Amino acid sequence: MAINQFPLPDLGEGLTEGEILKWLVAEGDTIELNQPIVEVETAKAAVEIPAKWAGTVVKIHHPEGTVVNVGDPIISIDTGGGAAPAAESTDEEPKRQPVLVGYGPKSGPAKRRVRAAPAPAAVVEAPAPAVEAPAPVVKEPLAPVEEPVAPQPGGPVLAKPPVRKLARDLGIDLSTVVGTGPQGSITRDDLQGAVDGVTRPAPAPARVPGSRETRIPIKGVRKLTAANMVASAFTAPHVTEFLTIDMTRSMRALDRLKGQRDWRDVRVSPLLLVAKAVLLGIKRHPMINSTWSDKTEEIIVKDYVNLGVAAATDRGLIVPNIKDAGELTLRQLADAMNDLVGTAKSGKTPPADMTGGTFTITNVGVFGVDTGTPILPPGEAAILAFGAVREQPWAHKGKVKLRQVTTLGLSFDHRIIDGELGSKFLRDVGEFLTDPEAALLAWM
């Protein structure tokens, strides 16, 4: 027997801690290499972490809801032989910290929060005779079943990774589904049968007994968003300008686009044309797509556009971005935006998609809001708020008619963008949305 500790890996982008959302295995379970074992939420996304060894789960070190520092042990696995190769070390070569594929090692010390419960003693990585650890809890193998097995509260849920992904996409909690597969595992057919009437439960805030207050922990996405907004608000001098425009022709152009054969199965919204207008506006005014560097005392103008789209999720507001959006065709841009929003709502946006943004659009119109004064994402020079498109009286060709009207709000960093540049960019975006076909002919 060889007990190997699995520490919380560095999930990238300087993150130093994560909250254990859900254990996908239990003590005594036999697990396979790369089998998802735990779902962890960082300040940027919720991710499933795969097992780096096959074996038996000996100890789960932290319960669900615990915030764990990167590098701290989260689970111990009996690999049934010598020490796992990834855990070996010699005097000549220092031991490497395990990380997920595609992510770097931990780059700095982690700051520990108060734990929900005291952590048990760590298990030393060594063959069994040298280990001073609690005896592993061994479960009997599940016997084959003839009838569906109802999920046990707090117990493991048996489902293959593709089924787990489908459950996430459908918004289904696997613990509420009765499995009909081998050993009570959940199948795709089980998920399809559970689609009707199934909703994903949201975590309830803690209410202090006997009080009239509700305490909501500040963590994860909300914590990171708050820190970024405070840093941005008190670092970059914000200026906001507004422009009310007639979008009737844009709305008609969208209707014609939806009627095209190649676009009939594509979800198209006014936000698509706003994004296109922004990308063309940046080509005409490159300084809009830049950042201020105190370290090098330079304004860095980007020759690429990573277009961020703010998305409201169950875990808070996130801003994933579309890499090199300026190089995409209109159809490619539509597909990328739909994928971005769908992934964000599922809570599975990878950290890499939420870094490196150069310009952001926030669509407050979906909430029925006319416009706002958005705060810049850190490192970006401008952000555009797109308000609700409403039918309103508008002077058109000498007459007052009902037209599709909206208001744009552009916030920008006045250290980089002065009033003239900001106004010209906003004017050009407005001109495109007022008559996109004429603007395309004139600007190309």
Q: Domain-by-domain residue ranges, the chain?
A: 2-141, 142-201, 221-443
pLDDT of residue 368: 93
> Mean per-residue pLDDT for 417-428?
96
Whether the per-residue pLDDT at 240 is higher than 50: the answer is yes
Looking at 3.40.50.261, 1.10.3720.10, 4.10.320.10, 3.40.50.1220, the CATH number of the domain 142-201 comes to 4.10.320.10
Distances (CA, A) of 212 to 36, 202, 207, 208, 335: 40, 21, 8, 8, 47
pLDDT of residue 44: 60
> Mean per-residue pLDDT for 364-380?
92
CA angle 194, 170, 179 (to 5 degrees): 40
Superfamily of domain 221-443: Chloramphenicol acetyltransferase-like domain (3.30.559.10)
Q: Which are the catalytic amino acids?
A: 414
Phi, psi torsion values for 86, nearest 5 degrees: -70, -15
Least Cα distance to 357 among 390, 379, 330, 386 occurs for: 379
Whether the per-residue pLDDT at 134 is higher than 80: the answer is no
Whether the per-residue pLDDT at 93 is higher than 60: the answer is no
Least Cα distance to 272 among 249, 250, 304 occurs for: 250
Return the minimum-mean-pLDDT range out of 113-117, 165-169, 387-391: 113-117
Other Cβ atoms within 10 Å of 407 Cβ, number? 21
Whether the per-residue pLDDT at 313 is higher than 50: the answer is yes
pLDDT of residue 171: 66
| Residue found under tokens 């006045």 | 414
Whether the per-residue pLDDT at 211 is higher than 90: the answer is no
Q: Which two tokens stand for residue 202?
A: 């949201």
- What SS3 state is found at 229? helix
pLDDT exceeding 90 applies to what percent of the chain?
Answer: 41
Answer with the residue of higher pLDDT: 44 or 279.
279
- What SS3 state is found at 25? coil
Q: What is the pTM of this model?
A: 0.59
Fold of 2-141: OB fold (Dihydrolipoamide Acetyltransferase, E2P) (2.40.50)
Type of residue numbered 314: D
Answer with the residue of higher pLDDT: 397 or 1.
397
Computed over every residue of the chain, the mean pLDDT equals 78
Q: Compute the distance between CA of residue 147 and CA of residue 145 in angstroms, rounded to an integer.
A: 6
Type of residue numbered 345: K
